[in-house]
Amino acid sequence: DMFVIFGGDKLEKMLETFRVSEDMPVEAPQVTDALDKVQKAVEDQYREIRSEIFRFDETLNEQRKAIYSTRRDLLFADPEKTIATMKQYNGDTVADIVKAQTDSDGSSVDTAKVTEKLGQFFPGVQIGDLSGKDADTITSSVSEAVNKVFTSKMEEMEAAAKAAGRPGMPLARSANYITLVTMDNAWSDHLQNMENLKEAVILRQFQGIDIITEYKNEAFQLFTGLEDKMRFNAVFSLWQSLAAPQATA
């Protein structure tokens, strides 16, 4: 295949012209020069490919370091830190939901859509009437309501665990487990997306585009989306578990 790409058709015609059989040593200067040129082209091409792949791998490795660091922090976090992280996730998710349904100039909020989405992510939280309120007011009031229910659930589960003689901070353990699982699943999907991106940007080199810059820019966007996806999935899954009937001891 490489001979076809780098001038194999010309070499084949030359061999036919000189009537060189397949088992005859190639000694003609013209043939030797042609082979040298093809060999050099192949080596240059592979050198460039190796360089590009190395820079692709560097970008992915930086993302891997960031994810593994976050995962390590979660894995060894004490219960209080886990709860603080989940409260932060709750607040960020509320803000994202409201922002997604707010006009670019911030003048109007689709409160019906906001209420629908909040109900999906935070079942059991009484949102109330959001009509006529601006984005900041909605975000603040809903975050307060979410935090109130979250704290109540935590205290309720703690009391049940204590009464049953089970270890304390059950909500923290559930949150930790769910967050780690959603992170692992999202990272696995991300690796496939990065592989697809690599294949896509390599094809763009024929358009005269700097594929390394393209790869880094789009990889950054994918990674930002990955972090959001992990948080959304963790919040959604945890609150579904909180809404489910609790098993009795």
Among 107, 91, 85, 67, CA closest to 174? 85
pLDDT over threshold 70, residue 223: yes
> How sure is the predictor about 58, in pLDDT bands with cuts at 50, 70 and 90?
confident
> How sure is the predictor about 11, in pLDDT bands with cuts at 50, 70 and 90?
low
Mean model confidence pLDDT for the chain = 82
Tens of pLDDT, residues 140-199: 999 999 999 999 999 999 999 999 999 989 999 999 999 999 999 999 999 999 989 988
> How sure is the predictor about 13, in pLDDT bands with cuts at 50, 70 and 90?
low
Two tokens at 61?
């490795």
Count CB neighbours of 118 within 10 A.
Answer: 22
pLDDT at residue 2, as a whole number: 44
> How sure is the predictor about 56, in pLDDT bands with cuts at 50, 70 and 90?
confident
Gap between the terminal Cα atoms of the chain? 68
